[in-house]
Amino acid sequence: MFDIGGSLAAARKGQRLTPSDVERLTCLRGKYLVALENDDFDALPGRVYARAFLRTYADALGLDADRFVDEFDARYPEPEDDPHFAVIRARRVRRVSPRAILPLVLVAGVVGGAVWSSVSAPPNVPPIQPPAPAVAAPKQPRAALSLAPAKPVRHAALVIRATTGRCWLLVRRGGSTGAVLFEGTLEPGQSMRFTPRVWVRLGAPGNVAIHRGPRTIGGLPA
């Protein structure tokens, strides 16, 4: 079996790098680097972080990052979604109160009595002459109404730029379980542009500037 932590530690020591050197090189916290070298993945914030930090550490040491990530995926496969978390919303049936039905019954009785009285009128009452048919007014031609198609609403793109240092970045489409659009490290001066509806994780938020159009976005967690 491929030794993940031992290989990272051996490569670091072979390049004569201290944990502090690697911490500055990767912009990752020292306790996370120690956890990776000890195969203590439970000490990391989660599976997504562990996988991303492992790739960043291997890349920084010039190792084959895909080999490390594949070994990690083989040991810790991604869990399937739990169907018990599905939320089912049922529509509430509104009941009609008997107090609301009573006025309707009374109105129906009054209307029925009026109709019965008109039908049973005495025979000496002269019949009511039907009104003369009204002459229909000439129909006016309808003006054609032209509706221009609505222009699609365009949302400004999300731009992430590394300013003061390196920053690991993970971007997914739509949410935390969406397809991975980008995973890697931004070097100072580099920037990435994404369309709306993306989910973002940052390794070093203080090293980047994030904009959506003219608006600056801040306060994103690491």
DSSP states of 97-147 as a string?
A: PHHHHHHHHHHHHHHHHHHHHHHT--TTSPPPPPPPPPPPPPPPPPPP---
Q: What would the pLDDT profile of 68-111 be if each residue is shown by its tens digit?
A: 999 999 988 887 654 443 333 333 334 545 555 555 656 556 54
Question: Taking each helix axis from N to C terminus, what angle separates 65-75 and 47-60, rounded to the nearest 10 degrees?
Answer: 150
State both tokens at 125: 């009452």
Q: Give which of 210, 205, 161 is closest to 187, Cα–Cα.
A: 161
Quote the pLDDT of residue 145.
42
Q: Yes or no: say if 163 and 209 are a contact pair by the CB < 8 Å rule.
A: yes
Whether the predicted pLDDT of 177 surpasses 60: yes
Quote the pLDDT of residue 47.
92
User: Please, which pLDDT band fits residue 40 given cuts at 50, 70 and 90?
Assistant: very high
Q: Yes or no: say if 168 and 203 are a contact pair by the CB < 8 Å rule.
A: yes
pTM (two decimals): 0.40
Residue 13 CA to residue 54 CA, distance in Å, equals: 17
Angle at 181 between CA 176 and CA 183, to 5 degrees: 85
CATH 3.90.1150.10 fits 4-75, yes or no: no
Can you give the residue ranges of every domain in the chain?
4-75, 158-217
Q: Yes or no: say if 195 and 203 are a contact pair by the CB < 8 Å rule.
A: no
CB burial of 160-198 (b: ≥16 within 10 Å; e: otherwise) equals bbbeeebbbbbbbeeeeeeeebebbbbeeeeebebeeeb
Percent of the chain with pLDDT over 90: 27
Q: How far is CA 82 from the centre of its chain?
A: 19
Residue type, 179: A
